[in-house]
């Protein structure tokens, strides 16, 4: 029995070897079962949302937390915010298992990390959930405007995606007009906002969503643009003849099978972890499909969340979100010049920034620097 336990322990530590800290949080009274993963704090305190999902196992929850927190490190680095990467996941059904007590318990666990981790809403959680968590810790952001927060982060996220689309069009067509053809997978908070704006810019959109009522609501909202919209099935969205495919729902959808179906010139979307595996970036390149790394494209929400910690300033946020255009355009050029994938080019830039800041953040100073003078 001891031998089995030792093997399991070694495997667990190997699994989290690239992370600084992983915390398992258990509160029996509220039913909270959560994992907080802190990947890298070279740039500053770890920043990342809390996701709630009915994971089939603790192992699945842990893997999601590890993957998402690592992605946050890269996202913070390339977005030039002075924070590291972290993520929390709660095991449970957000439609049935939530309670104020659960989020107060989460807040206590977050507070026990003494500022190493700052969190807020993500898939399956809402701003209102974190009003309860904020009663137990000050290391919460992304709360409603009525409570002193910056409000809906899907607004800057959508604006950032539009900048990424404009940069992609500039690189491919030497004209950054949004008047193109797009295949949009998912009409959630972000996908819907982007779709509406694209229609207003004169684009034609193919759309799909797993929820039929969402599609009906969208069509009702853009009644006067019906001639510029075609609703297709979940399978057909990969096959349509469009300029850009936009994954705005679940991750892991760019894989060996779907790449063969794509009939587009680029992939630019808001979904996290779109590539089932990094190797598929090369597969897209071989097919001459330009890929904009998702953690740069959808960084608008992160930019708002990070900025909120210094005091709400929407103008400052939107100005920084606009820099996504230049970041994406430069990334495409770097990848082309080095004859590497955009994923590799982005990884190199993140590593460069982490290496540069590692030295700067180790420089002795007796006072807290302005970039971390938060709350």
Q: Which residues are catalytic?
A: 87
- The CA-atom distances, in angstroms, between 222 and each of 212, 228, 238, 242, 270 are 16, 10, 23, 20, 21
Rounded CA-CA distance 303/172 in Å is 26
Q: Which two tokens stand for residue 166?
A: 């404009």
**Two tokens at 343?**
């994923």
Q: Which of 293, 295, 301 is nearest to 318 (CA)?
A: 301
Cβ within 8 Å of residue 33, ≥6 positions away: 25, 26, 58, 90, 91, 92
Residue 62 burial (CB count, 10 A): 20
Name the strand (E) or helix (H) holding 62.
helix 58-78
Collapse the DSSP code of 50 into the 3-class scheme (helix H, G, I; strand E, B; otherwise coil) and give the result.
Answer: strand
- For the chain, the 3-state helix, strand and coil shares in percent, each to the nearest 5, are 50, 15, 35
CA–CA separation, 205 and 231 (whole Å): 8
What token pair was written down for 86?
């972290």
CA distance 75 to 308: 17
Q: Is 311 left (phi over 0), alpha (psi -120 to 50) or beta?
A: left
User: What's the rounded Cα separation, in Å, for the pair 185 and 207?
Assistant: 6
Strand positions, DSSP E, the chain = 21-27, 32-40, 46-47, 50-53, 84-91, 117-118, 181-185, 204-208, 229-231, 244-247, 266-267, 290-291
């Amino acid at each position: 029995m001891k031998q089995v336990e030792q093997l399991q322990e070694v495997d667990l530590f190997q699994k989290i070897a690239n992370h600084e800290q992983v915390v398992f949080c258990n509160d029996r009274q509220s039913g909270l079962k959560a994992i907080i993963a802190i990947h890298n704090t070279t740039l500053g305190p770890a920043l990342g949302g809390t996701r709630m999902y009915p994971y089939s196992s603790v192992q699945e929850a842990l893997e999601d937390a590890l993957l998402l927190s690592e992605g946050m490190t890269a996202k913070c680095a390339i977005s030039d915010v002075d924070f590291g990467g972290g993520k929390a996941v709660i095991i449970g059904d957000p439609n049935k298992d939530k309670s104020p007590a659960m989020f107060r318990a989460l807040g206590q666990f977050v507070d026990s990390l003494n500022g190493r981790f700052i969190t807020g809403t993500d898939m399956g959680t809402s701003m209102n959930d974190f009003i309860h968590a904020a009663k137990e810790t000050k290391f919460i952001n992304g709360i409603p405007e009525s409570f002193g927060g910056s409000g809906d982060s899907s607004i800057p996220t959508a604006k950032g995606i539009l900048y990424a689309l404009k940069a992609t069009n500039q690189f491919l067509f030497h004209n950054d007009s949004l008047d193109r053809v797009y295949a949009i997978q998912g009409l959630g908070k972000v996908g819907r906002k982007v779709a509406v704006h694209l229609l207003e810019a004169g684009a034609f959109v193919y759309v799909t969503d797993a929820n039929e009522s969402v599609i009906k609501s969208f069509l009702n909202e853009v009644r006067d643009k019906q001639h510029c919209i075609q609703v297709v099935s979940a399978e057909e969205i990969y096959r349509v003849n469009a300029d850009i495919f936009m994954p705005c729902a679940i991750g892991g959808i760019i894989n060996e099978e779907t790449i063969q179906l794509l009939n587009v010139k680029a992939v630019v979307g808001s979904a996290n972890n779109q590539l089932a595996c990094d190797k598929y970036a090369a597969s897209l390149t071989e097919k001459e499909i330009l890929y904009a790394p998702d953690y740069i494209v959808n960084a608008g929400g992160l930019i708002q969340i990070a900025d909120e910690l210094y005091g709400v300033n929407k103008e400052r946020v939107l100005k920084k979100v606009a820099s996504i255009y230049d970041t994406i355009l430069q990334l495409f050029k770097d990848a082309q010049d080095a004859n590497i994938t955009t994923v590799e080019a982005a990884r190199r830039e993140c590593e460069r920034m982490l290496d540069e800041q590692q030295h700067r953040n180790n420089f002795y100073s007796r006072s807290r620097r302005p970039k971390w003078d938060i709350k």
